[in-house]
Structure 1
Amino acid sequence: MTPEDRFPGPEHPDSGPRHQPDLDVLPYGTYYEPEPAGYAEAAYESETYSGYGGARYLEQHWPATGHPHDGHTQQGAHAQQDHHVQHDHHDPQGAHGPQAAHPGYEPTLPDMPSPAHQVDDPPTIELGPPLPEPGLPYHPYPAPAPNEPPGPLYVVGDVHGYLDELLAELRHQGLIDADGHWSAGRSRIWFLGDFTDRGPDGIGVIDLVMQLAAEAAAAGGYCRALMGNHELLFLGAARYGDEPVQSTAGTASFLAAWRLNGGQQHDLDRLEAHHVSWLSRLPAIALEDGHLLLHSDTTAYLEYGESIAEVNDAVHDLLADEGVDEWWDCFRRFTKRFAFRGDAGPTAVHELLDTYGGSRVVHGHSPIPYLTGAVHADDGAPPHIPGPYIYADDLAVAMDGGVTMEGRLLVARLPVN
C-alpha cells in the first residue's frame, strides 16, 4: 500500500489500505521520453518537448553507485540548509510517526487569521516586475503584442518538500536562472499540488512557488498551483491539531494523520499566516489547453460540483466555514487513487472530461512506480522513471515520479505524446 493509505479508515470504499497484490492490476500505458534538446532552440518551437532529457538525464543523475540525489547541488536562496536532519521516507511509523507526538501538543501560529476572515494577505501575483539589485540597470519585460499566443504550458508533479530537486529540474528546463528566479518569459506553469510532507523543506517549496508566481506575472506568463490532499492535511493539522474527527475505524485527528503521512515538524513551525491564506485559496481543478488538471487520480471531484467553478467554490467554502469533520471528509475523498487504471480506467476519465471539459486528464498523487507495479527493483536500484506515464487509452498522464521513493521529480511541457 502507498504511504498515504496509512491512516485510520476506510471511510469510503476505495480509500482504505491497498495491499501489494492490488498493484498487479496494471494500466496499459507508455512513458513519454523526449529527445534531448536545448531550451533556447526547442522550448517555444516543439509541441512535445519537455526538456528533462529522459533516460539520458537519468544516466547522468543516477550513477551506478551512490544515492541518486548525491549529484544535486544547492542553488539560490531557497536551497535546503538543514542537511543534518535525517528523514526516513519509507517508514511513516518512524521518527515522524504517532509516537513522535507530544501529549497535549497543540500547534500555534503567530497571529494566524481564520480562513473566513483573512486580513493583510500579501499579494503574490500582481506585483509588477521584480526590482533590480542596487546599481544594476532595470529592463522591464515587454508587454505582450496584440493577439500574441500564450507561452508554452508546463506541469510539475508532486514535490513533497524536495526543494533542491525542484530547483534542479526547473533550472534544467530553463524555467529559472541559477539564482532561482523566473527566466521563462511568458511560459505558463501549473504545480499539481503536494508541496509539503516527507521531504526536507516544504515551506521552502511554498515560498519558491509564491515567488515564481509574482515573477512570472511580471514577465507576462504565470505560475499557478492546485490544492493537493497534502495541502488539506497540512492546513488541517495547523488549524485543528489533535481535535478528534469521526472515523469508522475509531477516533483520529488531523495532526496524527499528518505525522503518519510524513509531516515535518519544522514545516509546521515555519507556517505563517500568509502561507495559510495562499494555500487555502488554491483551486482543486483547472482546465488549460484541453488538459484537465487534477491533483488526485479520482472521480471524487464529481461529488463537489458539475463545473470547475462549482468544485473550486465548494472546496473554498468548506475551508472557510465548515468544521473539522467536513475538512476530514474532503481530505479523505481527495486521497482516493487509482481510478484511471485497469479496464474501467478510461470510463472514469471520460466521466471527468464529459463533465468538466478537456480531452485528457493530467494528475499527480499516485506515484508512477505504484501505477506500473515497478516499486522495488530486484537489484535494489531506484525505480526507473523516464518521464510522465501515459495510460487509460492515452486519456491520462501521471506526473508523480515518486521523488519520495528515490524516483523522479517530474517537470514536463504539455502536450506529451
Structure 2
Amino acid sequence: MTPEDRFPGPEHPDSGPRHQPDLDVLPYGTYYEPEPAGYAEAAYESETYSGYGGARYLEQHWPATGQAHNVHAPQAAHPGYEPTLPDRPSPVHQSDDPPTIELGPPLAEPVPAYPYPAPAPGEPVGPLYVVGDVHGYLEELRAELRHQGLIDADGHWAAGRSRIWFLGDFTDRGPDGIGVIDLVMQLAAEAAAAGGYCRALMGNHELLFLGAARYGDEPVQSTAGTASFLAAWRLNGGQQHDLDRLEAHHISWLSRLPAIALEDGHLLLHSDTTAYLEYGESIPEVNDAVHDLLADEGVDEWWDCFRRFTKRFAFRGDAGPQAVHELLDAYGGSRVVHGHSPIPYLTGTVHADDGAPPHIPGPYIYADDLAVAMDGGVTMEGRLLVARLPI
C-alpha cells in the first residue's frame, strides 16, 4: 500500500492503495541518469533498461549530492496570525467523489538587481529544467539546484536565461514546506531579472494545504462519509509549523498556479492521471476552471477537485500509452512529464531485499517513451530530481 495521498473515500482504479500483484505488472521503462558533476553541458547521459521496471541500476557516474547551501531564512508569521481566505458562497454538494495558475504577485520586499544583460530581440530562450516533488525538503532542493548550476552558493539564481518548471507538491511530510515556497518565489523574481523564468504547477498537496487553511475542520461530503480538509491534510503528512507560517502572499501565489502547461513539446502535469480532461478541452480551459473553482466554489467542489488530482498510475500497464495519447491529443505536445507518483511505487521496487532505501538513478521513462516520471521519492529516502529537458 502506498502511503501517498491517503484520504477518506472509496478507492479508484488509478488512485490510492495498490495490491502487490498490480505493482508487479509494469511496462518496460528507461532510467535516465543526470549529468555527473563537472560536466559543463547536458550532453552526457546514460540509460539503464529494465523489464517490468526491474531494479538494474547503474552506480557509476552517480555523483554525491554535495553540500547544501543556506539561503535567507523565511519570515515567521506574526504572533497569533491565522491565514484566511475571502468568504465564499455556501458549499453545494456534488455526488460521486473520486479523492493539487501563472506566478503570483511580486515579493513584498524589494528584489535586488542582478548584473544580467537584457535578452536581445529574437534571442533564443535558455535551457528548460523540471523539478519533481519537493515535499518540504528544502536542503535537498538547494543542494540539487546548486549541483545543477541553477543557484549559487548563497542560494540565488545563477542560471541566466534558463527556464525552470516545478511540478508541484512543495509542502507536507518534509521539514520546511514554507521555506520551499519562499525559495521558489524568490527564484521566480530573480530569474525574471535575468531574462529567464522560474514557474510552478499546482499539485494535489497545494490544493490540500490551501483547503486545510481555508476550511479547517468544516465537513465535506463524500460517498464514504464525512471528512474534512484538515483531517486529510494531517493524514497526508501536513506539518503544523507550515500552517502556522502560511501568510496571505503565500496563499495568493499558490492559488494562482496553473494546473497544466506546455513547454517545448512537453506536456507538464503534476499528477499521472487523465482527470485533467474533466476540467477542459484546452490548457487555458483547465487552468481557468481550477482558478474559478478556487475563487468561487464551496468546500465540496474544492474537495472533489483535490480528490480527482490525487488519482495516479493512469500511464502504467498496457493501457498507459493510450491514456497519455488522450492528454496529448487534447492539449498538445509529444510527451508527458509528471510528478506525484514516486518512482519506487511506479516501478514496484519500493522494498529492497536488504531493507536499503530505494536507489533512483534519475527520471523514469515509460509508457512507450511517452511519459517521464519525476518524483524520485525524496520522502522515502529516494532522490529529489532536477532534470534538463528533453531527456
> TM-score scaled by structure 1?
0.79
CA distance in 1, matches of 2:116, 2:98: 23
The answer (yes or no) to whether the contact 1:39–1:173 under 8 Å persists in 2 is: no
1:304-342 alpha-carbon deviations (Å, 9 max, x no partner): 000000000000000000000000000000000000000
How far apart are residue 56 of structure 1 and its match? 15
**Unpaired runs of 5+ in structure 1?**
73-96
- What is the CA–CA distance in structure 2 between the aligned matches of 1:10 and 1:120, rounded to whole Å? 9
SS at match of 2:40: helix
Distance 1:157 1:337, change over 3 A: same
Per-residue CA deviation, residues 253-304 of structure 1 (Å, 9 max, x unaligned), is 0000000000000000000000000000000000000000000000000000
Identity of aligned residues (%): 94
How far apart, in 2, do the equivalents of 1:360 and 1:372 lie? 19
The CA distance in 2 between the partners of 1:351 and 1:261, in whole Å, is 29
* Corresponding residue for residue 363 of structure 1: 338
Distance 2:303 2:122 in 1: 45
How far apart in 1 are the matches of 2:45 and 2:12?
45
Moved more, 34-43 or 384-393: 34-43
Residues 351 and 213 of structure 1, relative CA distance in 2, 3 Å threshold: same
Query: Is residue 2:189 matched to residue 1:214?
Result: yes
Determine if contact 2:29/2:53 at 8 Å carries over to the other structure: no
**Alpha-carbon distance in structure 1 between the residues aligned to 2:151 and 2:74:** 38
Cα shift at 1:65? 16
Contact preservation (8 Å) 2:66, 2:147: no
For residue 108 of structure 1, report the CA deviation from its aligned partner. 6.2
The structural deviation recorded for 1:63 is: 11
Count of residues in correspondence between the two structures:
391
Q: Could you list the runs of 5+ residues in structure 2 that have no partner in the other structure?
A: none
Are 1:155 and 1:192, in contact at CA under 8 Å, matched by a contact in 2?
yes
Shift of 1:127: 12
Distance (Å, rounded) in 2 between the aligned partners of 1:49 and 1:146: 43
Q: Partners of 2:18 and 2:270 in 1: how far apart?
A: 19
Cα offset, 1:5, TM superposition: 4.4
Give the secondary-structure state (helix, strand or coil) at the position aligned to 1:230: helix
1:4 Cα deviation after fit:
2.8
- Change in CA separation of 1:247 and 1:34 when aligned onto 2, cut-off 3 Å: same
Alignment partners' CA distance in 1, 2:12 and 2:179:
33
C-alpha change, 1:102 and 1:114, in structure 2 (3 Å) is: farther
2:118 corresponds in structure 1 to 143
Q: Deviations over 1:169-216 (max 9, x none)?
A: 000000000110000000000000000000000000000000000000
Report the aligned-residue RMSD.
Answer: 7.6
TM-score, normalization by structure 2: 0.84
Deviations 1:53-96 (A, max 9, x none): 99999969999999999999xxxxxxxxxxxxxxxxxxxxxxxx
> Equivalent residues in 2 for 1:276-287 (5 A)?
276-287=251-262
Moved more, 27-36 or 313-322: 27-36
Report how far residue 22 of structure 1 moved: 2.1
Does the 8 Å contact 2:99/2:310 carry over to 1?
A: no
> How far has the Cα of 1:250 moved from its partner?
1.0
- Give the conservation status (yes or no) of the 8 Å contact 2:167–2:268: yes
Q: Distance in 2 between matches of 1:52 and 1:174?
A: 34
Residue 112 of structure 1, CA deviation: 13
SS at match of 1:41: coil
* Maintained 8 Å contact 1:110/1:272: no
Tell me, yes or no, if the aligned pair for 1:51 and 1:173 is still in contact at 8 Å: no
Query: For residues 99 and 131 of structure 1, what CA distance do their matches in structure 2 show?
Result: 12
Contact 2:343 2:364 in 1 (8 A): yes
CA contact (8 A) 1:177 1:183 kept: yes
- Cα shift at 1:365: 0.1
User: Which secondary structure does the structure 2 equivalent of 1:251 belong to?
Assistant: strand
Partner secondary structure for residue 49 of structure 1 = strand
Is the 2:127–2:162 Cα contact (8 Å) retained in structure 1?
A: yes
Q: Tell me how far 1:395 sits from its aligned partner.
A: 0.2
